[in-house]
Amino acid sequence: MLKRIALFSIASCALACAHAAPQPGSLCIASTADAELVDLSHAFDRDTLYWPTDTAGFQLNTLSEGHTEGGYYYSAYAYAGAEHGGTHIDAPLHFAEGGASTDAIPLARLTGPGVVIDIQADAASDADALLTPEHIRAFEAAHGTIARGSIVLVRSGWSKRWPQRRAYLGDDTAGDASQLHFPGLSEAAARALVARQVAAVGIDTASIDHGPSRDFIVHRVLLGAGVPAFENLTALERLPERGAWIVALPMKIARGSGGPLRALAIVPSGAGR
C-alpha cells in the first residue's frame, strides 16, 4: 500500500511542478485529470522491427478463438519474440557482465522526471547523427541542469519511419546488421549523462548506438554504469523538453537481458514546448 501511495505522489509531482527543475525526493500532489497520458511504445505485431540478425520477429499464434459450447466468447493466444525488438528495454546485463537483469532493475530507474533533448535538425541532414555533449550543454543553457534521477529521452524524429524497415534501419537485408544507418548517442554524451547520474536513457531509434557502430560503446558505457536504455520509443514529439513524468515498465523477465517495454509519459496540461 505504501509503495502505491509513493508512486502516486511521485507521479503527481510532474503535474504540480511542471515548470520547476526536478528535485529528487520532493512530492507534490495534484489531480491526474489535468494531464495527458502519452503512449511512448509501438504495438507488437507482424510488422514489428527487430534487430536484423533476428529473422523470426514477433509471433502471435491462436490457441483458442470463438464461441464455446457454453455460449460465451473466449480467445487466447501464444506469443513469442526476442527480448530486443520493438519498443524494449536494455537491462545492464545486456552488455555488462554481472549487471542487473531485467527483473532486478530498481523501479527508481524506470520512473522519473523526463528530459527530452532534440537532435532532429542534425538527423534530418545526417542519418548517422549523434547526440553530443554540445547538445547536452545547449539543452541545459536553455532549460536548466539535468538533475540526478532524470530519464533522458533523445528525440531524433526517426519513429515517423516506423515500421518501414529500410527507412528506419537504413537497410533491409535479412540477417545482416553491417549496413545500418540511424541516429544514436556519442560515447562522450553517454559519459556526460552517467556523470549527471541520470536514471535511464531512451531514444526513438533502434539503438542507443547509432547504426554504423561496431563496438557498441554507448551500450557499454551506460549499461556498465547501471543505466538501462529504452529503444524504439515513439511519440517523443508530443513531449515538452521538461515537465513530463516518465513511466517505463518492461516485462519482468527473470535473468533477462531486456524485454518488451510499455512506456508512457504523464504530461501536465500546462507543460508546453
- pLDDT tens digit string along 179-202? 999 999 999 999 999 999 999 999
Out of 8-22, 89-103, 195-209, which region has the weakest mean confidence (pLDDT)? 8-22
Contact yes or no for 173/52 (Cβ under 8 A)? yes
Contacts of 132 (CB under 8 A, 6+ apart): 186, 188, 189
pTM of the shown model: 0.90
DSSP string of 160-223? GGTT-HHHHHS---TT--SS----EE-HHHHHHHHHTT-SEEEESSS-SB-TT-SS-HHHHHHH
Contacts of 45 (CB under 8 A, 6+ apart): 58, 60
Select the more confidently predicted residue: 271 or 151.
151
pLDDT(56) > 60: yes
Instruction: Say which DSSP state 93 is in.
Output: G
DSSP annotation string for 100-127 = PPGGGS-GGGTEEEEEEEE-HHHHHH-T
Identify whether the C-beta of residue 23 lies closer than 8 Å to the C-beta of residue 147: yes
Average pLDDT rounded to a whole number, residues 107-132: 98
Q: What is the mean pLDDT of residues 238-256?
A: 98
Angle between helices 217-224 and 187-195 (to 10 degrees): 10
pLDDT at position 270, please?
79
Q: For residues 221 and 187, is the Cβ–Cβ distance under 8 A?
A: yes
Tell me the domains of the chain and their CATH numbers: 31-65+72-268 (3.50.30.50)
Average pLDDT over residues 76-82: 97
Question: 10 Å Cβ neighbour count for 138?
Answer: 13
Confidence band for 263, pLDDT divided at 50, 70 and 90: very high
The position carrying cell 504495438 is 43
Give the model confidence (pLDDT) of 144-171 as tens digits. 999 999 999 999 999 999 999 999 999 9
> What residues does 250 pair with on adjacent strands?
261
Collect all residues with Cβ–Cβ distance below 8 Å to 246 and sequence separation of at least 6: 40, 111, 112, 113, 114, 151, 153, 202, 263, 264, 265, 266
Q: Any idea what the Cα angle at residue 122 is, between residues 185 and 175, rounded to 5°?
A: 55
- Average pLDDT of the residues of the chain: 91
Confidence of residue 84 (pLDDT cuts 50, 70, 90): very high
Please give the Cα distance from 188 to 183 (Å, whole number): 15
Specify which residues 268 forms β-bridges with. 35
SS3 155: strand
pLDDT at position 34 is 84
